[in-house]
Structure 1
Amino acid sequence: MHKSEIVIAGDLSSPEFRLPVLRFSGRGTGAPRTYIQAALHAGELPGVVAIHKLIPHLLAAEARGDILGDIVIVPKANPIGAAQWFFGELQGRFELASRVNFNRDHPLVPLAELPSLTENIAALPPADQLKRHLVSMAAACDLVLDLHCDDESQLYAYLDAEFWPAARDLAESFGLEAVLLSDGNSSAFEEAVTYAWRHGDLGGRSAWHEGRISLTMEFRGTRDVDPETAEKDALGILSFLKRRGVVAGTPDRNEPFTGPVAGLDYVQMVNAPVAGAVLFEKNIGMAVTAGERLAVLVTEPGNPDRDHVVTAPTDGVIVTRVSARFVRPGDNLMKIASSELSHQGRKPGGALED
């Protein structure tokens, strides 16, 4: 394993930021090249600890000569967000200088123009430097795993619809509980990678997506950080790499996938109609029917007549649930994967939420 650092120049009086990169060299067999990163939203740690548990497995495979394809790993992909602490809390989702989500506004360039992303890069704002470095490394690979987590959620993934059902091997490696299919219209990291692939030479492929995958993995909720879960997730990553021929050997996990598969336009965003304390009546993973009670919002403590009941807009499965227990009007409460078109349109840019 080779360790290096990418230096991101600061602006104004800001210090420089350092981005550690771990690389395993394959045996030159023509196996897929893999890129894995975690904590692009700096406070989302399940992917970080999964990588921590994965590294010993890869070191052992390296010692055996079982690494067939090059592997690039960025264990903590956002040193800028990791430095944003206010009033004792990490603010790692949005860059404070621009107020832009760290997983939005990634550069959309054709594959052949990847080298241009890092030219004269130090003159750019730090967050733009970071995004350019990450996309340039990832889009040069064939398999790209961007590890995130939600508030409270099932284990699920976002991926371009073109990758399904070929990505079922990934679902079986991780034991995914749901798959959400995007349409490639946003500037999120995973879709910046697919943009480069879509607008590049096929390299002998019959289609741009053949033998490739770029996805956002949501490793459950922010509090799902423990050694047993991390080891299980590490074995999921390793199993996927073995299935795709990046690492030699038999996959360690094989769990039949039976969860919902829903396009983003079929994900029901259940939002709070009023402000109040949240009393959830349904948990993640539960199947619900239209009109079924999901939660009660306590708007006037001591006066039950003012309670507001939130019901399911359609049949489906609860994929995520907000971790906050006080919400404002319009705040998201749940995401439900369904077989019906969502009752509300997506925001411009293609993402479900900011």
Structure 2
Amino acid sequence: MAKDISWQVTGDSGNTLQIGAWRFEGDGSGPKVHLQAGVHADEIAGMLVLHQLLPRLQACQDQGRLRGSVTVVPQANPFGIGQFRQGRLLGRFHDATGQNFNRAFDHSLAMERPASNLAHWQKSLVQLAGDADLVLDLHTDDEALPYLYLHRNFWPDGLALAAALKVDLVIVWDEGGDGSFEETIIAHADPRLAATIELRGQADVSDALAQQDADGLWAWLCVSGVIDEAAVISEWLGQVVDMGCMETVLAPCAGVLVFEKALGDEVEEGERFARIIRRPGDPGSEVVMHAAQTGRLVTRHRERLVSQGSVVAKFTGSRLSENWSGGTLDP
């Protein structure tokens, strides 16, 4: 049976919070893998994917076909998963501090005695993944095509993962600086591969999609030597884009957001793709938004009433964005 390695942390009110985790041990001839979902607790899709993957890994272990070890943390964030406000889960930021849950992992790891319960959770999560050869962190965007977020050191080694998951896009980055989980793992644990996987949008949670993604992860585990099973991965036909060439478009004003382009659509430089109605009823209050360069619409803002400065959309591009100033995309 899988080893239950669940652990507890103290919550903001002194309550005990449980983090479920399981480890499947193979014969030691394959790599060590760490799979987790829900660091942003309102990004649910990966939780269902790993939930479906667990019994398959158990059967594989029982049959003696597991070569490496696989650690699975299906719901990694016990703080965010309880942050319901008027029926809505707000799991991206920590209520007590306002901190993005996927930031400052490096600071927490550097503390001999973490200064807060949140930092203790972050340090324990990094330490759990610290000896893994292959590390995957499952997220979602607002509304999005499936894409892979990967450090340049891991490309093209990550090609098999992109192909197995059939992502539309791989975004390659060089520098971070905000202490995300992936960045901290790369800096302190030296894995063979670490990646953030964006499993479409927050509403894309279904058995069918989870099965597709679990099948993709399974195939990748097979070709990576973790599972003793033949797997065929189709040729990847997606796109690789440097982080600096991504165009992130912010709302110039508040209002009703109306998209005129669908996810995956190609746009020409200067082409209109959305508009914001500042004052419904006033035809002169519409603000039209145009593409900064030729590319493909990758993400869209999920809410249709947008505040000024919110991320409206992200596009691929073929040249460095004029708004690029370094750092990460927004994992």
TM band (smaller chain): over 0.9
| Residue type at the aligned position of 1:162 | N
1:3 matches 2:4: yes
Aligned to 1:203: none
- In the TM superposition, residue 271 of structure 1 has moved relative to its aligned partner by 1.2
Query: Secondary structure at the residue paired with 1:107?
Result: helix
1:229 matches 2:209: yes
- Tell me how far apart the structure 1 counterparts of residues 278 and 26 of structure 2 sit (CA, whole Å): 58
Q: Aligned ranges for residues 1-354 of structure 1 at < 5 Å? A: 1-10=2-11, 13-29=13-29, 31-107=30-106, 120=113, 124-186=115-177, 187-198=179-190, 212-251=192-231, 254-346=233-325, 350-353=327-330
Verify the 8 A CA contact 1:182 1:263 in the aligned structure 2: yes
- Tell me how far apart the structure 2 counterparts of residues 14 and 88 of structure 1 sit (CA, whole Å): 23
- Tell me how far apart the structure 2 counterparts of residues 254 and 321 of structure 1 sit (CA, whole Å): 29
- Tell me how far apart the structure 2 counterparts of residues 77 and 330 of structure 1 sit (CA, whole Å): 30
RMSD: 1.8
Verify the 8 A CA contact 1:108 1:196 in the aligned structure 2: no
Query: Secondary structure at the residue paired with 1:310?
Result: strand
Q: What number of residue pairs does the alignment pair up?
A: 329
Verify the 8 A CA contact 1:174 1:255 in the aligned structure 2: no
Q: 1:15 to 1:108 in 2, by over 3 A?
A: closer
- Tell me how far apart the structure 1 counterparts of residues 206 and 74 of structure 2 sit (CA, whole Å): 17
Verify the 8 A CA contact 1:8 1:126 in the aligned structure 2: yes
Measured against aligned partners, the alpha-carbon deviations of 1:128-176 in whole angstroms (never above 9, x if no partner) come to 1111011111121010000000111001011101111111000111101
Verify the 8 A CA contact 2:175 2:328 in the aligned structure 1: no
| Residue type at the aligned position of 1:7 | Q
- Tell me how far apart the structure 2 counterparts of residues 287 and 196 of structure 1 sit (CA, whole Å): 39
Unaligned 5+ residue runs, structure 2?
A: none
- Tell me how far apart the structure 1 counterparts of residues 209 and 325 of structure 2 sit (CA, whole Å): 32
- Tell me how far apart the structure 1 counterparts of residues 301 and 94 of structure 2 sit (CA, whole Å): 21
Verify the 8 A CA contact 2:39 2:76 in the aligned structure 1: yes
- Tell me how far apart the structure 2 counterparts of residues 278 and 108 of structure 1 sit (CA, whole Å): 37
Q: Which 4+ stretches in 1 moved above 3 angstroms? A: none
Verify the 8 A CA contact 2:106 2:180 in the aligned structure 1: no
- In the TM superposition, residue 353 of structure 1 has moved relative to its aligned partner by 3.8
Query: Secondary structure at the residue paired with 2:312?
Result: strand
Verify the 8 A CA contact 2:11 2:79 in the aligned structure 1: no
* Normalised TM-score (structure 1): 0.89
Query: Secondary structure at the residue paired with 2:241?
Result: strand
Query: Secondary structure at the residue paired with 1:56?
Result: helix
- In the TM superposition, residue 184 of structure 1 has moved relative to its aligned partner by 3.6
Query: Secondary structure at the residue paired with 1:79?
Result: coil
| Residue type at the aligned position of 2:180 | A
Query: Secondary structure at the residue paired with 2:106?
Result: coil
- Tell me how far apart the structure 1 counterparts of residues 330 and 42 of structure 2 sit (CA, whole Å): 18
| Residue type at the aligned position of 1:327 | V
Measured against aligned partners, the alpha-carbon deviations of 1:271-309 in whole angstroms (never above 9, x if no partner) come to 111111011011111111101111011112122222111
- Tell me how far apart the structure 1 counterparts of residues 189 and 73 of structure 2 sit (CA, whole Å): 21
- Tell me how far apart the structure 1 counterparts of residues 26 and 89 of structure 2 sit (CA, whole Å): 37
| Residue type at the aligned position of 1:3 | D
Which deviates further from its counterpart, 323-332 or 299-308?
299-308
| Residue type at the aligned position of 1:52 | H
- Tell me how far apart the structure 2 counterparts of residues 196 and 105 of structure 1 sit (CA, whole Å): 13
* Normalised TM-score (structure 2): 0.95
Unaligned 5+ residue runs, structure 1?
A: 199-208
| Residue type at the aligned position of 1:196 | H
